[in-house]
Amino acid sequence: IFRQEDAERMNIERELIARFGLDDAFVIPTPASSSDLRNSLASAAAMYVSDHLRSDGYLNIGYGDTMSLVLNHLATGRGSSLNVVSLTGGVSYYLPKISSEVFGMRLFLTPAPLVVSSPELRDSLLEEPSIRDVYRMSEHADMSVVGIGGIDEDATVLRNGILSKNELALLKMQGAVGDILTHFIDANGNPIDTTIEDRIVSTSLEALRAMKNVVGVAAGPEKVAAIHAVLGPGFLNVLIVD
C-alpha cells in the first residue's frame, strides 16, 4: 500500500512539473486529521529547505501561519546556521515560537508593520534605509519560501485581523481567489485593485517573479483555486502540496 501511495505521489509530482514548468514538486500525504495538515506541510517545507539550501545560506520567507511553522521546524531540525530574510513587514510573524538559540538562526526583518494606515506612509517607509537594506538582501537570497493564502473563512488574513469579513467578502466580489505575500490575485494571477494593496509593506509580485528558487507551500481543497492562480504567471519554481 505504501509503495502504491508513493508511486501515486511521484506521478502527481511529475505531472505538476510538466504542466506548470516547475523545477521541482513535493507532494505529501494528506493527514487523516485536517488539524494536522498545516504542521505536516510546514515540516515538509522545512525538510525541503534543509535538503536544498547551502550551509549558512540565505532564505527569504513570506508571511503566514504556515511560514511561522516552517521557521519553527527549521530551528529545531537544521543542524547548520541559517540566515532568514523577511519578504513582508510584520515583525511578530517572523519570530519563531521557540528560541532561535537552538541553532544559529539570524533574522533580517523588515522593521515595519505589514499593513499601514495610508499609501503615503507606506511609500515613506519603503524609502527608509533599514527597509531598503532588507529588500536588497532579499534580491540575492539563495531560496525563497512563500505561502499561498486562500479566501475562505479560515484565511490567515482574517484570523490575524488584517482584513475584516466585509473586506474579504468585497475581495471575493472583485474576483479574488487568494493571495501571495498579501497581494490578492484573481483566477489568472492578476493583482486585484484594492485599498489594502497600496498600504501593505510587502515584496512586489514583479520582484518575487525575478527571485530564484521560489518555493510555494499550500495544502487543502480551499487552496486549489489560489494555487492555480499563482502557478499560471510563473511566480514559483517549486510547489509543495498535499
Whole-angstrom CA distances from 95 to 17, 64, 101, 162 are 33, 12, 12, 18
Predicted model pTM: 0.92
In the prediction, which pLDDT does 100 show? 46
Is the Cβ–Cβ distance between 84 and 71 less than 8 Å?
yes
The count of other CB atoms within 10 Å of the CB of residue 15 is 12
**Least confident interval from 5-19, 72-86, 173-187:** 72-86
In the structure, what pLDDT confidence band is assigned to residue 33 with cuts at 50, 70 and 90? confident
In the structure, what pLDDT confidence band is assigned to residue 216 with cuts at 50, 70 and 90? very high
Instruction: Average the pLDDT over 182-207 and give the result.
Output: 93
pLDDT tens-digit readout, 68-100: 899 888 888 765 678 999 999 998 888 766 554
- The pair phi, psi for residue 95, each rounded to 5°, is -95, 115
pLDDT tens-digit readout, 139-167: 999 999 999 999 888 888 888 888 888 98
Cell of 175: 474576483
What SS3 state is found at 26? strand
Angstrom distance (rounded) from CA 66 to CA 49: 14
Percent of the chain with pLDDT over 90: 67
| Strands 238-241 and 214-217, sheet pairing | parallel
In the prediction, which pLDDT does 7 show? 87
In the prediction, which pLDDT does 104 show? 63
